[in-house]
Amino acid sequence: MCVGKSTLFAKLCGVNTKSVNYPGTTGTITVGHMGGSKGQLVVDTPGTSSIFMHNEDERVSRDFFLSFDDITKIKNIGAIKSGAFVALFVADAKNLKRSLALAIQYAEYDVPMLLNVNMVDEADSRGISTDYQLLSEILGIDVCYSVATEGKGVRDIKSKLTSPRTPNKLIQYPAKVEEFIRLTQKLFANLGHTISRGVIILLLAQDKSASKYVAKTFGEEVLEQINGLREEYERGECTPFAILITNLFHKKADEIVSRVQRKEESAKNLYGDKFGRWCMQLTTGIPIALMIIYCMYLFVGVFAATFLVDTISGTFFTGILYPLCQQLVSFIPNAFIRDMMIDENFGFIPTGIFLAFGLVLPVLFCFYIFFSILEDSGYLPRLSFLLDKVFHKIGLNGKGVMPLIMGFSCVTMAMLTIRVLDTKKEKQIATLLLLLGIPCAPLFGIMFVILGKMPIAATWVFFAIVAFQVSLAGYLANKFLVGKRSPLLLEITPMRWPHPLQVLKKSLWKTYSFLKEATPIFIMASIILFLFDRSGGLILLEKILKPITNDLLGLPLESVQVFIKAIIRKENGASELRHLSEASGGGIYSNLQLLVNMLVMSVLIPCLNTVIIVVKERGIKIALSLLCIIISWAILSGSILNHVCKLLGVTFT
């Protein structure tokens, strides 16, 4: 819901948190402890906008809140069953109506709650003031406020979490609904049990999770009796129940906001609002988007990929560290071990450690800085709005922009964000597009390093081909896949200046997390390739694949080792490609071969992490179908590029 919930969670728990799978779903929750590893357990569930779930993340949040599933199956959170359960509800100060409508819905479940109104600094900048005392009296619970990004209000939240209260019931339902609630409560009372009004509302809305919970806990006969009462209610009703109830919640929220909030015209954010509108208008939004892309090219592609990489990798690692390491390992008597460590082509020091820190690190860090600025400024939702009509052609709405943009950060994580899309068709199309040519941040950065040594035409041709194949694949998938495209429902957050310290912290943390995960894999891939080469397997595989790599794609046989590393980690393969392109004075690859190799590698096979996520999210059948499609397309597109360029005499030199 973009209310700063996860930021607040990080402030409460620090860095010692972990993501775990929620039973029976592909959704995840994040768990941590407030006040150290033995402190109070805190769970961060996915954001939600309604109790009537629209996607799997909303189902995870709602069902966890109501304990519809056996949450003791989740590692490290069994204490919730035996301990106190307190709901910390995070609201948006500048869009309080929407947050209150959801809070009122959850108030029906009789769970102790604390309301935190976050992002009050942004509300202040827009001239919005809130009477928190009056809001607390209306809701019947403690209300606190915070600026989570700066840590303001966190201490107050911690103190009030120790004495939560059950919120007031603020909704008076229509007479027929109240009668259904009364009869259902009476039915459970006769069984010696109590049930909250909120769960009864879900049963009336024919919610699958609530019905399954009742059938499992109280028996199928009880569920059949409830369904009989529901059928009695539905006679003569025209308006869908979920819409009727949602309107009641929003009407009550509107009434409360009119009492507790005042808005004064403020000139403080006029320029930000005006620029935000420009970003969404076609005539101004397209030039702004192109300018941002160009700025990213200058910062990531020129400054990071050329200047920083040449300085760090060329001067420091190659010029100083590599000769030093050669001297150090020369004392090792076993030549096999020495070669495994320091061999120029396969040693894990030059092709594992040095490539990770000298090549990937500077480019990735600069990319994360740029991407974090776009995230924190509020530009990305506006880009989604701007591209909504364009995305209609490929079966997505503007919301589909977000997973694709996230793919430029990490394709594996982008696969998880596909859950925010509403229909099965949209999820399948987005998965295909991510696999087909969206380069992740490390791969993207290394591509800039390689392309930076070529004429600018090579860069334009490469990304034009990627854009064309993504557009074509989306268009064809939209035509042939069965299903509908959902309408765009998107919150447009206000434009704001990114906080430099927050941008730096986020970028450092993401870069550190990547290196922590990827460096051992880089080393492992180098060792595997070294052993594969020494056993003769690499030469054999190169001969087997020669008709494809050499004849069709026009690539040197060494490309096989690039593809092997790319399967383990895409950026590892790209690093190997760059390493080979500079070996022996750059004589192994021509510029055209580099371009073809990058195109094939970016599409051919996703890294292992991505494959696992695709199988988990989409199922083995769809995953295998998608992999067969993209492998075939990678070979076809690379072959076409190779032969067309040779036919036209294009060499990119």
Distance CA 555, CA 559 (A): 7
Distance CA 161, CA 133 (A): 17
Per-residue pLDDT band for 76 (boundaries 50, 70, 90) equals very low
Encode pLDDT of 235-269 as tens digits: 766 667 777 788 888 899 999 999 999 887 655 55
Helix, coil or strand: residue 591: helix
**Confidence (pTM):** 0.63
Average pLDDT rounded to a whole number, residues 497-517:
84
More confident residue, 65 or 331: 331
Instruction: Supply the pLDDT for residue 79.
Output: 42
Q: Which domains does the chain have, with CATH numbers?
A: 5-160 (3.40.50.300), 175-237 (no CATH), 280-648 (no CATH)
Instruction: Supply the pLDDT for residue 134.
Output: 94
DSSP code of residue 165: B
Encode pLDDT of 296-326 as tens digits: 878 877 788 778 877 887 788 878 888 898 8
More confident residue, 198 or 570: 198
Contact residues for 251 (Cβ-Cβ < 8 A; gap 6+): none
Instruction: Supply the pLDDT for residue 131.
Output: 92
Tokens describing residue 640:
């076409």
Is it the case that residue 464 has pLDDT exceeding 80? yes
Distance CA 246, CA 25 (A): 26
The b/e string for 101-123 (b: 16+ C-beta within 10 A; e otherwise) is bbbbbbbbbebebbbbbbbbbbb
